[in-house]
Amino acid sequence: MSYEIHRAKSPQNLRIAVVTISDKRAKGEPDISGDIAEGKLTKTGWEVVREIVPNDKQKIREVVEKYMRDVDVIVTIGGTGITSRDLTIETIRPLLEKELPGFGEMLRHLGYQKIGTPALLSRALAGARDGKLIFCLPGAPNAVAIGLDLILPDLPHLLKHARE
């Protein structure tokens, strides 16, 4: 089977949750990175739902579990750094059945090319569970744009594989 035929069998109508994880955004500060993500995702014609939660393991887990029931893809924004309040990776990694280490590696590589060594502070993560995909992006607007540009061209194809 050719690659084009294989890709053509990918789902096309996706429902995606964008979850911003930030104490500041949860208190009402503008969610610029969430706006960037929503803009890029809605341009594809896919349905996007958004939510903001503080850096709290229980709240992060509850929101991710909620969206696991009714979306195809979850994109989290924020909480991937190394401060004591960055809890996204510790909360989401145990929820994954399979990790996609190449995502974080490539995001850091592309980020390094644009901003240098600060890109190394990101613990970006991606993986699959129950036929769904989860991507954990850093909170910086540039990182969100780079991360989405990385996955958007092949997101339906990635989801097809997660469902197999």
Q: Residue 70 belongs to a domain with what CATH number?
A: 3.40.980.10
User: What's this model's pTM, rounded to 2 decimal places?
Assistant: 0.95
Give the pLDDT of residue 3.
65
3-state secondary structure of 68: helix
Residue 23 CB coordination number (10 Å): 14
Contact status, residue 124 vs residue 103, Cβ threshold 8 Å: yes
Q: Is 2 a domain residue?
A: no
In a domain, 16, yes or no: yes
In a domain, 3, yes or no: no
Full residue range of the structural domain in which residue 48 is found: 12-163
The total number of structural domains in the chain stands at 1
Domain contains 74: yes
Each of the 164 residues of the chain gets a pLDDT tens digit; together they read: 566 776 778 888 999 999 999 999 989 999 999 999 999 999 999 999 999 999 999 999 999 999 999 999 999 999 999 999 999 999 999 999 999 999 999 999 999 999 889 888 899 999 999 999 999 999 999 999 999 999 999 999 999 999 99
